[in-house]
Amino acid sequence: MSWLIKNGTVVTAEREFVADVLCLGETIEAVGPDLEAPEGVEVIDATGKYVFPGFIDPHVHIYLPFMGTFAKDDYESASRAALMGGTTTLIEMCCPGRDEDPLEAFHLWKSKAEGLSSCDYTFHMGVTRFDSATASALEEIVGEGVASFKVFLAYQGAFGIDDTELYETLRLAKELGVIVTAHCENAALVAKLQAALVADGKTGPEWHEPSRPVQVEAEGCHHLMTFAEATGAHVYVVHTSCKDALDVIRGAKSRGVQAWVETVIPYLVLDKSYAERPDFEGAKWVMSPPIRDKSHQFALWEGLADGSISTVGTDHAPFDFETQKHMGHPDVEKAVTADFSPRGEGGNFTLIPNGIPSVEDRVNLLFTAGVKTGRIDLPTFVKVASTEAAKIFGLYPRKGEIAPGSDGDVVVYDPEYRGVISAETHSMRTDYSGFEGMEILGRPSMVTVRGQVMVREGKFVGEAGHGRFLARIPTHF
Ligand code: URP
Ligand code: ZN
Ligand code: ZN
Ligand code: ZN
């Protein structure tokens, strides 16, 4: 499909300017004033609208066996939801269990996307065990086009790895030029604090945050920074929730540690009072690290504006409220006992599947809460929601840019649109929205992936299976 977008305000990570954008087939051909439409090319008038590069979500979970259940979306629903919200590339965490073979797991995760995803996708390869066979399996996976790993310094007994495994992973990553993304929380502290709270009868969702206080996250970051400094590996801290963690990483970066920081949209627009809602409703907002006191929002917005935070992802991890979040309800008689959970009598907060559905809402919420309030300017918005992820993860300039030669992934964005987020209307498969009732001050009016129009005026017009696996090569030597 080919098209010419006329008279829009093109916004890149560097600047904004009025220009036309011509896409022939899958690729952007020209960007400039007064472009002529070749015969048979659809002309789209974007007067009064922004033209953004397709947005990239660097942190999603789609196929996710986790905490005794499975996340709700599959690639068909998640990619459709992503596109409705302007996200054209997903980077999913491939998270095998400790006893699974990494290569088999990678092929399993990839098979879940093939033929089903409407948007383009790639993976961070989860390293959840490191033994004598791991290095060669990981090398093979890197050879198949994966240029980033993922480690968990939390979830003891599930995805979590120990310090020796962390060291070996970082050492191998450095050798291969692979960046290591990391969930940073001190797992032993979490286990101890959870057990103490549950023993005290503090079992509701409001106790999730106190079980993983900011010190737990800051220590996890300090830990990763220490290992990164010792090995020279390049690291990327996922879902940074608080000022304390950010300060630790800033300090390490000032010493020369090669580290990048991600935050995720729930931390920017929600605060811990949501998880304190009565009658177990708070479970909807249980994720890890937890959503913090409102004061941390300001530190995160500041970090985005001053460049110390590089990206905004979602950590999309969708679980239903009624059937899945309720696994941690006090009336549920130990229906599930995760290995990493202290075993109380009934359900408790440690059994609530962690995560918030958000892949559809990230861009509109960031635009509304960031750009419309003046907290970040338009190029910064593009940078943190698209371009930086492309640069860090080896997708640039194919993705994250509007320039000749880049993929024809664009979002024509209507800043005059007004709407309200609701589970009644969202495309994600969960029975609730963590952002129910929030107003959005803009939305995509057209979204394309490699030239193909996928969304028009709030309607999905794409096809499942259009998405391609994006092979990447290591760049972090
Ligand atoms: O609560 C979260 N973040 N759920 C998804 C798994 C992870 O830690 O990223
Ligand atoms: Zn995580
Ligand atoms: Zn430590
Ligand atoms: Zn995650």
How much is the pLDDT for 156?
Answer: 85
Q: Which residues of the chain have pLDDT under 50?
A: 335-343
Ion ligand 3 residue ranges (Cβ < 5 Å): 223
217 lines ligand 1 (CB under 6 A): no
Which contiguous run of DSSP H or E holds residue 219?
A: helix 214-231
- Dihedral angle at the C-alpha atoms of 382, 388, 391, 395, nearest 10 degrees? -60
Question: In testing the pocket of ligand 1, which one of 183, 315, 351 has its CB within 8 Å of the most ligand atoms?
Answer: 315
For CATH 3.20.20.140, the residue range(s) in the chain are: 54-367
Which residue's CA is the closest to the ligand 1 atom numbered 8? Answer: 288
Instruction: Tell me the DSSP string of 249-299.
Output: HHHHHHTT--EEEEEEHHHHH--TTGGG-TTTGGGGG--SSPP--THHHHH
How much is the pLDDT for 346?
Answer: 73
Predicted-complex ipTM score? 0.95
Q: How far is the centre of ligand 3, averaged over its atoms, from the C-alpha of 322 (Å)? A: 37
How much is the pLDDT for 239?
Answer: 98
How much is the pLDDT for 331?
Answer: 84
At how many degrees (to 10) do helices 214-231 and 187-199 cross?
160
Q: Are 241 and 289 in contact (CB under 8 A)?
A: yes
124 lines ligand 1 (CB under 6 A): no
Are β-strands 50-53 and 42-45 bridged in parallel, bridged antiparallel, or unpaired?
A: unpaired
Query: Which atom in ligand 1 lies closest to the alpha carbon of residue 238?
Result: 9
61 lines ligand 1 (CB under 6 A): yes
Question: In testing the pocket of ligand 1, which one of 287, 319, 352, 359 has its CB within 8 Å of the most ligand atoms?
Answer: 287
Q: How far is the centre of ligand 4, averaged over its atoms, from the C-alpha of 314 (Å)? A: 8
CATH class of the 3-52+404-460 domain in this structure: mainly beta
Looking at the DSSP bridge assignments, the partners of residue 125 are: 94, 149
For CATH 2.30.40.10, the residue range(s) in the chain are: 3-52+404-460
287 lines ligand 1 (CB under 6 A): yes
Which residue's CA is the closest to the ligand 1 atom numbered 3? Answer: 288
Which homologous superfamily does the CATH classification assign to the domain defined by 54-367? Metal-dependent hydrolases (3.20.20.140)
Q: Are 160 and 154 in contact (CB under 8 A)?
A: yes
0.80 surpassed by pTM: yes
